[in-house]
Structure 1
Amino acid sequence: MTTNKINGRTRLVGLLGTPIKQTKSPHMHNSAFQYLDLDYAYLAFEVGNEALKQALDGLKVLNAAGCNVTMPNKQTVLPLLDELSQEAKLIGSVNTVLNDSGKLIGYNTDGRGFVKNLEENGVKVKGKKFLVAGAGGAGRAVAIQLAIDGAAEIFLIDVNDDLAKEVCGTINNNIETCKATPAKFGEFDLKEKLKAVDVLVNCTPLGMYPNEDKSIVDSADMLYPELIVADIVYSPLKTKLLSMAEEAGCKTVTGIGMMIWQGALAFKIWTGVDMPVDYIKDIILGSK
């Protein structure tokens, strides 16, 4: 590892979104660039919908390697790009942009980052049945990626059942190997439904600040030891849901891996090099 020194050959990578002051992305990517002695620098830019086109044009003019796109720009960016990956087309949003000699290509690494986190924790997607709570941006990406990667069945629940229906329609119309069923929170017996699935995934803000004391399940009694419970919330690392899952004897998967893996996949798109994931995990968790 060498000290990262910006010079005349350093290529820019950016984050376009608002608000972005709390993001961990610059720390994560710049630590990886420095560790691997790569000539890149990652900066966060406060950019909303109204200035997004100008920001992307600026990245092209500056020959930036690309950028991450976060709220509120993940869907607004779609018509501004020249090409979309298969996942980005199905998911309908982009979180990573590659500048390929002036051609902007959009990717979505959120769902794949979640799947990589499952795999890293010994959970195989193929053939399994999932209950995914939350059909918003993250839930949509996770559910569609699970279907792409071989999930047998997905039960998608949300307080907005129209949102869940739309995501399930996308899955059922495009991925023949997976059956997706929508439902509205509170209109079915969650405890009984959990007995019919292999993995429970929380893609809602419940458990994250300022909702740390909330969970999609009311008590550990609703869970059973054979169930795998995953949360995409990573702050706090152990959410109320995961605490109850541990109490019930379930295997648990925290959200920190998804955050790191979605970044690692973007890192590979820009640089062609694998991010040192274990090192970055230590950095993010504060042990280095």
Structure 2
Amino acid sequence: MTLKLGLIGHPISHSLSPWIHAKFIDLAGLNGEYKLYEGNPNQLPDVLTQLKQNKIDGFNVTIPYKQVVLDYLDELDSDAEILGAVNTVVNQHGKWKGYSTDGEGYVRSIIESFPSLLNKDTSVLILGAGGAARGIYRALVQKRLKRVDIANRTLDKAKELLPLGKDFTPSEVLTFHTAEKNLSQYDLIVQTTSVGMKPKVQEQIIQLDNIRKDTVVSDIVYQPIMTKILQDAKVHGARIHHGHAMLLYQGQLAFEKWTGKKLDVSHLVDELEDKLRGE
């Protein structure tokens, strides 16, 4: 039996998911393939018809389909329903069930790098309030931390995230200016926007002058691997966490849902970094 997996989105020609899942398939001792199914936003019905005809076992979903794909699924995981977005679909006996692995994948990557970081005394600052921030915020607040605050340019947009965590962990919405002044309060700072991504590699969303030493600064951007904010964090004595680790662990979680196999993928973090560096 050949496992049939894939990715839908646009554009996806440079996606690292085929490389990642080829590694997972080998680790799991399975036969399988992971293919790209690209189509512009108007072609989504045709792409999904192709997947059904191929009897695909599961697929990932990336932009611009994470929300619109919900209309084509038979069932949603509770968190995916709350978040209003899906990045992983599992074929369960011919029915398609949607999940969101972004947030939990991020949390797994943090725990793998810093096993004792997330606890009841941990304060977190999330920078940004977009789609990535929603999933990460939801997963972090469910850890029942001391607090998880959100800083964003548009405060009203950040406030839209607060209902996702009201039953779990206290949260406050801040301006970037206020966040900069209060940085010493936080044990983990998570940069969830595209600021600093290639080609605008000199951009930095906030300054870290008030950061505590040993605070963990995490950036979900992985091109470049060492973003401006991570470089600045090192200068200030902070610990750093790279975006490609999140990419790997959200893939691990998706693969787990497709196959039931939980793989140890920690050794692939460095391999993925080498691939990103072109080595």
TM-score by length of 1: 0.88
Aligned residue in 1 for 2:215:
227
Q: What is the aligned counterpart of 2:132 among 138, 158, 183?
A: 138
The one of 232, 239, 253 equivalent to 1:265 is 253
Shift of the alpha carbon at 1:196? 2.1
Using the TM superposition, give the Cα deviation of residue 276 of structure 1 relative to its aligned residue in structure 2, in angstroms: 4.3
**1:33 maps to 2:25:** yes
Q: How far, CA to CA, are the matches of 2:215 and 2:269 in structure 1?
A: 26
Deviations 1:87-125 (A, max 9, x none): 212222110000111111111111011101110112432
Q: Which of 159, 167, 172 is equivalent to 1:181?
A: 172
Distance 2:238 2:35 in 1: 39
Give the percent of matched residue pairs that are identical in Structure 1 and Structure 2. Answer: 33
- Structure 1 residues 179 and 192, CA gap change in structure 2 (3 angstroms): same
Give structure 2 stretches of 5+ with no counterpart. Answer: none
Matches within 5 A, 1:17-56: 17-56=9-48
- In the TM superposition, 1:211-222 aligns within 5 A as 211-218=200-207, 220-222=208-210
- The reply to whether residue 94 of structure 1 matches residue 82 of structure 2 is no
Partner of 1:6: none
Kindly indicate whether residue 140 of structure 2 is the aligned counterpart of residue 151 of structure 1: no
The Cα offsets for residues 208-252 of structure 1, whole Å up to 9 and x where unpaired, read as 11221111223x423221422111112222211111111111122
Distance apart, 1:266 and its partner CA: 0.5
In 2, the alpha carbon distance for the partners of 1:235 and 1:93 equals 24
Contact 2:102 2:136 in 1 (8 A): yes
CA distance in 2, matches of 1:284, 1:199: 23
- Number of the residue aligned with 1:5: none
Q: 1:48 to 1:241 in 2, by over 3 A?
A: same
| Correspondence for 1:65 | 57
CA distance in 2, matches of 1:230, 1:253: 4
Q: Choose which of 115, 119, 132 in structure 2 pairs with 1:126.
A: 119
Task: Report the AA paired with residue 119 of structure 2.
Answer: K
Kept in 2: contact 1:154–1:179 (CA 8 A) = yes
Structure 2 equivalent of residue 198 of structure 1: 187
What secondary structure, in the 3-state scheme, does the structure 1 residue paired with 2:185 have? coil
Whether contact under 8 Å (2:27, 2:263) holds in the other structure is no
Query: CA offsets, 1:244-286, max 9 Å, x none?
Result: 1111111221112111000010011111112341343343223
The alignment of Structure 1 onto Structure 2 pairs a total of residues equal to 274
Distance in 2 (CA, whole Å) between partners of 1:40 and 1:279 is 21
Task: Single out whichever of 147-156 and 197-206 deviates more from structure 2.
Answer: 147-156
1:31 and 1:200 map into 2 onto residues whose CA distance is: 30
2:87/2:102 contact within 8 Å kept: yes
Q: Deviations over 1:15-61 (max 9, x none)?
A: 00000011100111112213433121000111233232333343233
Q: What's 1:170 paired with?
A: 164
Structure 1 runs of 4+ with >4 Å offset: none
- Residue 151 of structure 2 aligns to a residue whose secondary structure is strand
* Structure 1: segments with no counterpart, 5+ residues: 1-8
Taking structure 2 as the reference length, the TM-score comes to 0.91
Contact 1:205 1:211 in 2 (8 A): no
Q: Does the CA contact (< 8 Å) of 2:7 and 2:36 recur in 1? A: yes
Of 217, 235, 254, the match for 1:247: 235
Offset from partner CA, 1:125-180 (integer Å, 9 cap, x none): 232211100111111111111012222312112222222111113322xxx22122
Distance 1:223 1:65 in 2: 46
